[in-house]
């Protein structure tokens, strides 16, 4: 278990650094208030997690340790949006359309509500 946690931790460390550098580089390329950097990181993270799971499901090129390091660790540190998108893709693949709609809608709505309340709490204290 400790070995797995170290894989995840190191992957998250690298993913977080990659997120910062990638987002900053992309955002600095545009003179706009639109969050191009974050959008690029989220979309790239989705592409990466799709590639990693696709390769690990179809070949023996990625063992369990590398899959954990790359998906939970690196992609998780790079963006949690990639995991969100992958879980939604799995719901669609399994034909769970109601769960897909609920998960997507509630995650976005409640995420915005949580950000609003978190911000509001900082104004109270």
CA distance to 33, 43, 109, 112, 114, per residue, from 75 (Å)? 25, 11, 23, 22, 23
Q: Which two tokens stand for residue 71?
A: 């998906």
Helix (H, G, I), strand (E, B) or coil at 116: helix
> What pLDDT digit, counting tens, does each position of 50-75 carry?
899 888 888 889 999 999 999 999 99
Average pLDDT for 25-54: 89
Confidence at 1, pLDDT banded by 50, 70, 90: very high
Q: Cβ of 49: how many Cβ atoms within 10 Å?
A: 25
Q: Which two tokens stand for residue 31?
A: 């003179």
């Amino acid at each position: 278990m400790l070995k797995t946690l170290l894989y995840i931790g190191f992957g998250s460390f690298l993913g977080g650094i990659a997120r910062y550098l990638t987002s900053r580089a992309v955002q600095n390329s545009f003179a706009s208030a639109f969050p191009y950097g974050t959008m690029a990181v989220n979309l790239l993270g989705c592409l990466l997690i799709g590639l990693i799971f696709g390769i690990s499901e179809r070949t023996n090129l990625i063992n369990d340790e590398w899959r954990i390091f790359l998906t939970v660790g690196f992609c998780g540190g790079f963006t949690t949006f990639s995991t969100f998108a992958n879980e939604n893709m799995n719901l669609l693949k399994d034909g769970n359309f109601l769960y897909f709609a609920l998960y997507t809608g509630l995650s976005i709505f409640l995420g915005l509500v949580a950000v609003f309340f978190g911000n509001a709490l900082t104004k109270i204290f």
